[in-house]
């Protein structure tokens, strides 16, 4: 693995390269400030074609499309600009995108570039998975959440009226180019949402990284470039290791990445999957709930749950459902939302719980009555208790 070395072939600024080892589907995550400057040479290494479609959303197009188009000067670039926001992960936008790619007469050896956050990455990856039964795609994540989570690992898909991410495919990108300079325009709220997925890696299996997060979260959120580079690289290394071990989430390994997600998805469903509660915000509250639930069941020291709750609060993040406007009587509805989770099997709903900070595990057979009782108490929780 190359760490903070000048990337002589493509740009003159240092990059951190994280390999994702998946046999013939292996690829590299290239992390650094200014990575996009080398996009032309990087793309030429992936395809012989001189035409490329770039899928992005209207917000990102205005902020960052010109620098990518400039870097791809040797290519004929066709931008496909979609509306910004979660609603874009829909059948309607998928159809429009697939038709746009087919109108460009793309072939399996073409590569489409996803320039955006998790919404654009998930949608474009899914379109790439099904057009001509699978064409190449490159992830160019522009949000912190996308850099540390959604752009790596090949989960792609859309939402349906029945729920989030219920239709999709595993389709690995050919490369991920994470240009830290793009984060300069990201609002603080979105930075905090991305930070939830960063601290998650420490909570799952890396207590030392959790300690680093506690010490460096404020600098990271303020945009400190060294802190961002370390956090993005460490997160991608952690995710790459998990994906390499359990690409299709069949061995109770990749499922650990869902820490906080079962509680969090229920909160998102309760608030209507809109802008009032971002995915990363829901994951932040959900992780605190997973630790409080683990403590309530005697699995995890109560101090660890308190410590996480305090850390999230200390960097301005929500840690309690009430802070997201969830009503005190919502417990049965939250459990009903959980039962729609795509992780649900004939054996029930697995929960990702913790024995402590850095020691998460998949818990099966958790009685739903215990979940309901916990939620009833937790919904009364406040930042002060």
Residues of the shown chain interacting with ligand NAD in the complex, contacts defined by CB under 6 A: 57, 59-60, 63, 84-86, 89, 116-120, 122, 142-143, 145-146, 149-150, 153, 155, 164-165, 182, 185-186, 190, 193, 279-280
Distance between CA 275 and CA 294 in Å, rounded? Answer: 29
Assess 192 for contact with ligand GLY (CB under 6 A). no
Q: Which is nearer to ligand GLY, 153 or 381 (CB)?
A: 153
- Among 141, 128, 116, 123, which Cα is nearest to 87's? 123
Burial 227-250 (b: 16+ CB within 10 A, else e): bbbbbbbbbbbbbbbbbbebbebe
Backbone φ and ψ for 231, nearest 5 degrees, come out as -65, -45
Distance between CA 273 and CA 266 in Å, rounded? Answer: 10
Q: Which of 257, 267, 285, 334 binds ligand GLY (CB under 6 A)?
A: 257
By beta carbon distance, the residue nearest ligand GLY is: 257
Assess 149 for contact with ligand GLY (CB under 6 A). yes
Q: Specify whether 265 is catalytic.
A: yes
Distance between CA 201 and CA 257 in Å, rounded? Answer: 8
Distance between CA 110 and CA 115 in Å, rounded? Answer: 16
Q: Which is nearer to ligand GLY, 168 or 358 (CB)?
A: 168
Give the nearest distance from C-beta 89 to ligand NAD in angstroms. Answer: 5
Q: Is the distance from CB of 206 to CB of 190 less than 8 angstroms?
A: no
Q: Which is nearer to ligand NAD, 39 or 190 (CB)?
A: 190
Give the nearest distance from C-beta 162 to ligand GLY in angstroms. Answer: 19
Give the nearest distance from C-beta 86 to ligand GLY in angstroms. Answer: 15
Assess 254 for contact with ligand GLY (CB under 6 A). yes
At 221, is the secondary structure helix, strand, or coil? helix
Assess 122 for contact with ligand GLY (CB under 6 A). no
Query: Which of 86, 214, 247, 249 does the annotation list as catalytic?
Result: 249
CB atoms within 10 A of CB 47: 17
Give the nearest distance from C-beta 2 to ligand GLY in angstroms. Answer: 24
CB atoms within 10 A of CB 255: 20
Length reported for the chain: 385
Query: Which of 48, 105, 133, 385 does the annotation list as catalytic?
Result: 133
Q: Which of 64, 89, 155, 230 binds ligand GLY (CB under 6 A)?
A: 155
- Among 335, 233, 261, which Cα is nearest to 20's? 233
In the 8-state DSSP scheme, what is residue 200? H
Q: Is the distance from CB of 168 to CB of 156 less than 8 angstroms?
A: yes
Distance between CA 97 and CA 79 in Å, rounded? Answer: 11
User: What, of ligand NAD, ligand GLY, none, does residue 254 touch, CB below 5 to 8 Å by kind?
Assistant: ligand GLY
Assess 341 for contact with ligand GLY (CB under 6 A). no
Give the nearest distance from C-beta 364 to ligand NAD in angstroms. Answer: 22
> Footprint of ligand GLY on this chain (CB under 6 A)?
149, 153, 155, 254, 257
Q: Which residues are catalytic?
A: 133, 155, 197, 239, 249, 254, 258, 261, 265, 279
């Amino acid at each position: 693995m190359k760490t903070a070395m000048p990337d002589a072939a493509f740009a003159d600024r240092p990059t951190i390269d994280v390999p994702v080892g998946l046999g013939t589907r292996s690829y590299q995550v290239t992390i650094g400030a200014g990575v996009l400057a080398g996009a032309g040479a990087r793309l030429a290494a992936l395809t012989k074609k001189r035409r490329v479609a770039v899928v992005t959303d209207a917000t990102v197009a205005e902020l960052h499309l010109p620098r990518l188009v400039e870097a791809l000067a040797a290519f004929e670039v066709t931008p496909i600009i979609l509306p910004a926001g979660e609603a874009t992960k829909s059948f309607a936008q998928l159809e429009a995108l697939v038709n746009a790619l087919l109108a460009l007469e793309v072939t399996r050896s073409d590569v489409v570039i996803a320039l955006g956050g998790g919404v654009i990455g998930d949608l474009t990856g899914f379109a790439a998975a099904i057009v001509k039964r699978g064409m190449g795609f490159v992830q160019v994540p522009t949000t912190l959440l996308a850099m540390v989570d959604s752009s790596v690992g090949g989960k792609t898909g859309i939402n349906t009226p029945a729920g989030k991410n219920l239709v999709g495919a595993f389709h690995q990108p050919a490369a991920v180019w994470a240009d830290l300079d793009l984060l300069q325009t990201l609002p603080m709220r979105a930075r905090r949402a991305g930070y939830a997925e960063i601290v998650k890696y420490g909570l799952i299996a890396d207590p030392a990284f959790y300690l680093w997060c506690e010490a460096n979260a404020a600098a990271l959120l303020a945009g400190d470039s060294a802190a961002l580079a370390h956090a993005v690289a460490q997160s991608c290394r952690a995710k790459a290791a998990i994906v390499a071990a359990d690409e299709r989430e069949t061995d109770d390994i990749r499922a650990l990445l869902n820490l906080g997600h079962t509680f969090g998805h229920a909160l998102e469903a309760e608030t209507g999957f809109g802008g009032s509660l971002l995915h990363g915000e829901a994951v932040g509250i959900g992780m605190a709930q997973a630790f409080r639930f683990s403590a309530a069941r005697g699995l995890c020291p109560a101090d660890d749950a308190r410590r996480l709750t305090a850390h999230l609060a200390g960097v301005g993040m929500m840690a309690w459902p009430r802070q997201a406007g969830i009503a005190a009587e919502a417990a049965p509805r939250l459990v009903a939302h959980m039962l729609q989770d795509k992780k649900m099997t004939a054996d029930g709903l697995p929960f990702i719980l913790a024995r402590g900070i850095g020691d998460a595990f998949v818990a099966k057979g958790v009685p739903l009555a215990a979940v309901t009782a916990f939620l009833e108490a937790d919904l009364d929780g406040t930042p002060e208790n």
